[in-house]
Amino acid sequence: MHRNNWFLKIGWLAFCLMTLVTIAGAQIQWVASGEVKDNDTFKTGMENGKAIPVCKCMHLGNTYPGKVISNQCIISWDGIEVKKSRFEVLLKTTKMEFTWVELRNSGLPAGAVTGGRENEKFLYVGRVKGENGNFYPGKIFKSATGYVCEYILDGKVKLTQDNFEILVANHVRR
């Protein structure tokens, strides 16, 4: 087997194994995009009047959170927009309650949802409120100056250290 094909298969297997993330004793569920109805996915924001599901996908051996537009997971990578047709979406469940929390540089809130990993650095699911009042999904990561949110607006990758929120999961006790 060609070395690159082996690496891709191992990477995809690792990606599939990451689909269940344990937070506070409960499980966040990521499912393959074709295996769930749109109504069952967790939405992160709005663009052009449409609710946007949260997704994650593999790219060059790493996993990135993103947004679903036209049946593609769109992520930001190295300052550009990347579209992937093979991805997973975050599933709404009765066992988990998701909330958005404004992230301050004092640290991550308990239950912050990990949407991926790049070179041993965790990437969290985030969103930014635009001037038009819409929320745009992005990835949050720690930089040398604190946490930042990278997002895509009008096809351009943007970065902010202000006014963004992080997705937090809490176990629902019934």
The whole-model pTM stands at 0.82
> From CA 143, how far away is CA 61, in angstroms rounded?
21
With cut-offs at 50, 70 and 90, classify the pLDDT of residue 4.
Answer: low
Distance of CA 163 to the CA centre of its chain: 18
Inter-CA distances, 18 with 2, 37, 88, 140, 156, Å: 25, 21, 11, 18, 29
| Chain segment 107-160, per-residue pLDDT in tens | 899 999 999 999 989 999 999 988 888 889 999 999 988 899 999 988 899 999
Q: Is the dihedral of CA 21, 146, 161, 79 positive or negative?
A: negative
Angle at 113 between CA 18 and CA 48, to 5 degrees: 105
- Which two structure tokens, joined as six digits, stand for 164? 């963004």
Statement: residue 15 has pLDDT above 60: no
- Distance (Å) of CA 76 to CA 18, 50, 159: 20, 20, 10
Domain ranges of the chain: 3-171
SS3 letters for 119-155? CCEEEEEEEEECCCCCEEEEEEEEECCEEEEEEEECC
**How many residues are listed for the chain in this entry?**
174
Quick: pLDDT tens for 40-87: 899 988 887 889 999 999 999 999 999 999 999 999 999 999 999 999
- Has residue 18 got a pLDDT over 80? no
In this model, does residue 6 exceed pLDDT 50? no
